[in-house]
Amino acid sequence: MSRPAILRSLQTIVPETTLRQDEVRDVFAAQPELGRLAQRIVTASFNGSGIDTRYTVLDELSLTADTVQPQFFDRETGRLLSPSTKVRNEVYVREAWKLYVDAARRSLEADPGIVAADVTHVITVSCTGFYAPGPDYEIVRALGLPENVERYHFGFMGCYASMPALRAAAQFCAANPDAVVLVVSVELCTLHLRSSEDPDMIVATSLFADGAAAGLVTARTFDQIAPGFALDRFHTGIIPEGKKDMAWMIGDAGFEMILSTAVPQLIGDNITAALSPMFHADALGTSFDDGRIGEQVTHWAIHPGGRSILDKVEEHLGLSEQQLHPAREVLRQYGNMSSATVLFVLRSILEQEGARDGERVAAMAFGPGLTAEAALMTVVAQ
């Protein structure tokens, strides 16, 4: 039996500029074009988000920044500006590559056994900007990886994209036992925030943030063990009735997130059916609905798409408050960083939740479609 691929040396970073949720709320609620109803929706969405702080690459969004020619926020007037998609993407090109390279470098430096020359594949993940040659090229050049490294980009898939990226990495390792796959996710969601009276846009504005994560996936045996997760099994589920409720489109003034207030209920109502195939007897020795999943799975790495989504997942899967703690804490401290977020939750489970060798982990993330991507993992700590 072949050795399972291991996700190891998981690292996460955020930009330097901190956004306090209450301060951002007040800025958005004070925009002069908003009617009284929209102002109330802004206040309710921000107050109920479960978020204290978020991070952004846009220094000018800070209330203390002194920007000579503001493009996104004029601090003197308090007005949120509306730059074009071209302007927003130019900022992505300027800022994203630094986070890609930094996250990738940190992952390699954190690994006690893997060096740059060992890397055979690079997978980059993002849905918040585009350019070519892209971040995969930047990583290879900046870190001195072999020029014949295979490079792949998972683009514009949304919040769930790190899960299929890990699945692809595991498949590369199954096909080539010597493969070492570097997976890097960078999302600059704040580039696309804007003032709006649309309730769906307001909800998105109250949630999204910037962040980056990277890890190494390999089935090779190295002299030094790095704590991580064995990638045991993946599953994709679709909730087709939610297609119109979660989407990601390109507009003239940035990318446009459709995130309706119906999403939490849709996920709650359908999550059991969407994920049950992953929990059949071959995987856990029990079925999904026989009441023993909580005993078999110790840790749950749920993508915190929003507080209401976590509430519905907790309710419908019968999870404990402690099992949702890492997801809620990531949401509170960092907001929703799209595809990078579930990697933040996995790192928290490994480093802050007392995960022990051999414990089972269920990870899942939701995105456009509605698509639910999930994985079963096993903690590898020794």
Active site residues: 159
Contact 327, 345 (CB under 8 A): yes
CA angle at residue 81 from 368 to 84, to 5 degrees?
A: 60
**Long-range contacts formed by 330-334: CB under 8 A, 24+ apart:** 330/304, 331/49, 331/50, 331/51, 331/304, 331/306, 331/307, 332/50, 332/51, 332/52, 332/53, 333/52, 333/53, 334/14, 334/53, 334/54, 334/55, 334/209, 334/211
CA angle at residue 333 from 377 to 274, to 5 degrees?
A: 40
Nearest to 278 by CA among 297, 298, 264: 297
Q: Which two tokens stand for residue 274?
A: 């969407």
Nearest to 100 by CA among 211, 232, 208: 211
Rounded (10°) angle between helices 307-317 and 325-334:
180
Q: Which two tokens stand for residue 326?
A: 């890492």
